[in-house]
C-alpha cells in the first residue's frame, strides 16, 4: 500500500509541509503504521475530500433526454437528489473503495471510531463496522418530512428504486412522477441531510452518543487521530474538535491529511503531523 513519500512534522514557522529530505524518509509508511500500532485507540475523521460525487451515467442520460423532450426547466430538479441517492447506493468508485479498505487494514485490530462529514454512505459499504461510525451530516439512504415531522424518518431505498424505475420507463414522463409525501402532514419527503431547513438529527443521534461515550473512554490513553480531508464547512465536528482532543490528551498523536488545508495550530507542535495530499490518493 502506498501512503505517499512523507508525513512531515510541523514546521515551527509556517506549520506547512516543508520537511527536509531526512524527515521525508523518516516518516514513510512504516512510521505511520508504527504510530497506529503504538496507539491504544484510533479516531478517524472523514472529510468532504472523500465524498462520492458521481452520478449513474445511464440514469443521468435518460433523465436529461426526457427533460429535453418534455421541455422542462426546473420542474424536474426535485428528482436529482434521488439520482444521487441511487448512485451512492449502487455505483462504485474503485479508488475511494481502495482508500477505505487500505485505511481499514491499518486500524482493524485497534479500538477505533469513525466520524464522517459525508452523506454518501460509502463508509458503511466498506469493511468498517457500522456500529463504530457516526455521520452527523445525515445520509442519502434516509428520507424525512420537509416539515420536520419526527416520525417521518425512513429508509429511502424502496422509494428511490420506484422513482428510478419510473425515470427509466419510456412510457412515463418526468412530469407525471409523483413526489413522495409524509404520511402525517402530507409534506414532501426529502433526504435526511444537514442541508434541510428542518433537519432531523434523530437520524444519527444514537451513533453520536455512542461516539461521545467512546471518546470519553480515551482520556489518558494513547490515541491516534487521523483527520482526512476535512475543511472548514463544519469544523466543530472534526477539524476543531480533533485539534481540541489532541491538545487535551497528552498521549495523543495527530495526523492531518489534507490537500488544501494541511496547516496546524502552534499549540500542537511536537505531537502533530501534516501531509499535503488528497486522502483518497494518499491511501492508494
CATH class of 8-51+110-136+204-282: alpha beta
Output the tens digit of pLDDT for each of the chain's 284 residues. 323 333 344 433 334 445 554 455 345 456 778 899 999 999 999 999 999 999 999 999 999 999 999 999 899 999 999 999 999 999 999 999 999 999 999 999 999 999 999 999 999 999 999 999 999 999 999 999 999 999 999 999 999 999 999 999 999 999 999 999 999 999 999 999 999 999 999 999 999 999 999 999 999 899 999 999 999 989 999 999 999 999 999 999 999 999 999 998 899 988 998 888 899 988 98
Q: Where are the domains of the chain?
A: 8-51+110-136+204-282, 57-90+141-193
Q: How many CB atoms lie within 10 A of CB 274?
A: 26
Element (H, E) at 148: none
Tell me which DSSP letter residue 181 carries: B
Please report where in the chains the cell 424525512 appears, as a residue: 144
Which residue, 210, 218, 275, 211, is CA-closest to 39? 218
Q: Could you tell me the end-to-end alpha-carbon distance of the chain, in angstroms, rounded to an integer?
A: 6
- Distance between CA atoms of 194 and 206, rounded to whole angstroms? 16
- Distance between CA atoms of 247 and 101, rounded to whole angstroms? 29
Tell me which DSSP letter residue 95 carries: H
Amino acid at each position: 500500500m502506498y501512503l505517499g513519500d512523507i508525513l512531515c512534522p510541523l514546521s515551527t514557522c509556517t506549520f506547512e509541509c516543508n520537511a527536509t529530505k531526512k524527515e521525508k524518509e523518516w516518516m514513510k509508511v512504516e512510521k505511520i503504521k508504527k504510530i497506529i500500532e503504538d496507539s491504544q485507540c484510533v479516531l478517524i475523521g472523514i472529510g468532504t475530500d472523500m465524498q462520492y460525487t458521481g452520478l449513474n451515467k445511464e440514469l443521468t442520460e435518460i433523465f436529461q433526454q426526457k427533460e429535453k423532450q418534455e421541455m422542462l426547466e426546473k420542474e424536474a430538479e426535485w428528482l436529482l437528489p434521488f439520482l444521487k441517492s441511487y448512485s451512492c447506493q449502487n455505483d462504485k468508485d474503485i479508488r475511494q473503495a481502495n482508500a477505505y479498505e487500505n485505511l481499514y487494514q491499518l486500524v482493524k485490530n485497534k479500538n477505533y471510531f469513525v466520524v464522517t462529514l459525508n452523506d454518501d454512505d460509502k463508509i458503511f459499504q466498506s469493511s468498517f463496522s457500522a456500529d463504530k461510525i457516526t455521520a452527523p451530516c445525515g445520509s442519502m439512504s434516509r428520507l424525512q418530512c420537509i416539515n420536520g415531522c419526527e416520525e417521518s424518518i425512513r429508509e429511502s431505498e424502496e422509494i428511490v428504486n420506484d422513482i428510478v424505475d419510473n425515470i427509466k420507463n419510456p412510457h412515463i414522463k418526468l412530469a407525471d412522477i409523483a413526489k413522495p409525501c409524509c404520511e402525517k402532514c402530507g409534506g414532501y419527503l426529502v433526504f435526511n441531510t444537514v442541508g434541510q431547513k428542518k433537519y432531523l438529527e434523530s437520524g444519527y443521534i444514537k451513533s453520536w452518543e455512542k461516539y461521545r461515550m467512546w471518546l470519553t473512554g480515551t482520556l489518558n490513553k494513547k490515541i491516534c487521530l487521523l483527520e482526512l480531508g476535512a475543511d472548514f464547512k463544519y469544523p466543530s465536528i472534526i477539524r476543531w474538535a480533533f485539534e481540541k482532543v489532541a491538545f487535551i490528551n497528552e498521549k495523543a498523536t495527530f495526523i492531518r491529511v489534507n490537500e488544501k488545508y494541511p496547516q496546524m495550530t502552534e499549540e500542537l507542535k511536537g505531537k502533530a503531523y501534516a501531509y499535503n495530499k488528497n486522502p483518497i490518493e494518499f491511501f492508494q
